[in-house]
Amino acid sequence: MNDKLSTLQLFVRVAYTSSFTKAGRELGLSQPSASRRISELEEEVGAALFVRSTRAVTLTDAGADYLTRVETILSALDEADHIARGTAELRGHLRVAMSTSFGVREVIPRIGPFMSAHPALHVDLRMADGRQDLIAEGVDVAFRFGQLKDSNATATMLGRCARMLVASPDYLARTGTPVEPGDLADHTFIMAPSGADVRGWTFEKGGRQIVGRGEGRLTISMNEGTMAAAVAGLGILATGFWACRAELSDGRLIPLLSDWAPKPIEVHAVYPAARAARPGARALVAYLVNELKAISV
């Protein structure tokens, strides 16, 4: 049973990585061993599950149907194991995707008690400023900011994060402090990885709306880099409260246009489509919802 189960897990990873080498590496197998085990599975099933070429490994129609059913079985088995233990103990590996800033500033400082409560659970934090592909990377849950794209994936709202403009005391001493959104045209902005800035942002106060616009002369590919640039006085940064809490607290950054704050941004925990959320993923999300509620708006 264990051999069959591990082979099915291998099959799922080959399907999403399109590579025997990548899938094998994730599960501690060589490429020849991974390929052989899938061939044995195909022989047992009595159908070709993959089309192999020099460039990629792709699912056949039979393989795609088999994948849907296998994922349902693996998720159900994971849930059954958890229930059968009759305790809150979580086991196995949990792969979690998030932005670098959110991971470094909010998740890592809080995850210790969760891991201590579940010593048999191995957590793999995948931090990147780009949006990770949940299916291809085998992610169990991802934390995402902003409006969710239409998807079959299920999501749980983690909280809301205030959006704001910030700048260093040094920058404001050199350029002056904007009083209204219209003043932003005279300032320089630091651009985040997504390219998002205040251009097109609508600021509202007492029913009055103003669109703030500013020039972005410096673009940085990492969120933590944009924060360092703001502290260094290189311009105004449009960011979320969770990303700059420490800098606001110690005075390295100053909030701007506080009375004109845009609407807060929602933060969601997103689970992959086509399979049930794993117990460990649900438990981590519930834990973080409780941990972060004090600083949500």
Tens digit of each residue's pLDDT (9 = 90 or more) over 118-170: 888 888 898 988 777 777 777 889 998 887 775 656 888 888 888 889 999 99
Alpha carbon 159 to its chain centroid, in Å, reads: 14
Residues 60, 100: one domain?
no
Q: Which residues of 200-218 are buried (b: 16+ CB within 10 A; e: fewer)?
A: ebebeeeeeebebbbebee
Residues 270, 154: one domain?
yes
Token pair in block for residue 160: 């809301």
pTM > 0.75: yes or no: no
Q: Map residue 147 onto helix, strand or coil.
A: coil
Residues 288, 274: one domain?
yes
Alpha helix positions (H), 86-190:
100-102, 111-117, 169-175
Residues 48, 177: one domain?
no
Where a domain ends, among 50, 84, 118?
84
pLDDT at 1: 42
Assign residue 141 the CATH number of its domain: 3.40.190.10
Q: What is the CA radius of gyration of the chain?
A: 23
Place of tokens 């920058």: 171
CA distance 124 to 281: 11
Range of the domain at 149: 91-158+266-295
- Taking 3-state DSSP, the helix, strand and coil percentages for the chain, each rounded to the nearest 5, stand at 45, 25, 30
Residues 76, 211: one domain?
no
Assign residue 39 the CATH number of its domain: 1.10.10.10
Residues 145, 287: one domain?
yes
Residues 193, 143: one domain?
no
Residues 48, 72: one domain?
yes
Residues 21, 71: one domain?
yes
Q: Using alpha carbons only, give the angle 121, 273, 159 rounded to the nearest 5 degrees.
A: 70
pLDDT at residue 15 above 80? Answer: yes
Where a domain ends, among 30, 51, 84?
84
- Name residue 255's beta-bridge partners: 166
The H or E element spanning position 285 is: helix 279-292
pLDDT at residue 47 above 70? Answer: yes
Q: Considering only CA atoms, which of 99, 96, 105, 104 is closest in space to residue 241?
A: 105
Token pair in block for residue 202: 């609508």
pLDDT at residue 79 above 70? Answer: no
Domain total in the chain: 3
DSSP 152: S
Token pair in block for residue 121: 């659970």
pLDDT at residue 265 above 80? Answer: yes
Residues 126, 216: one domain?
no
Residues 18, 107: one domain?
no
How many C-beta neighbours within 10 Å does residue 285 have?
A: 22
Token pair in block for residue 147: 């409006």
pLDDT at 85: 62
CA distance 45 to 161: 49
Residues 182, 148: one domain?
no
Taken in order 93, 96, 101, 106, is the CA torsion positive or negative?
Answer: negative
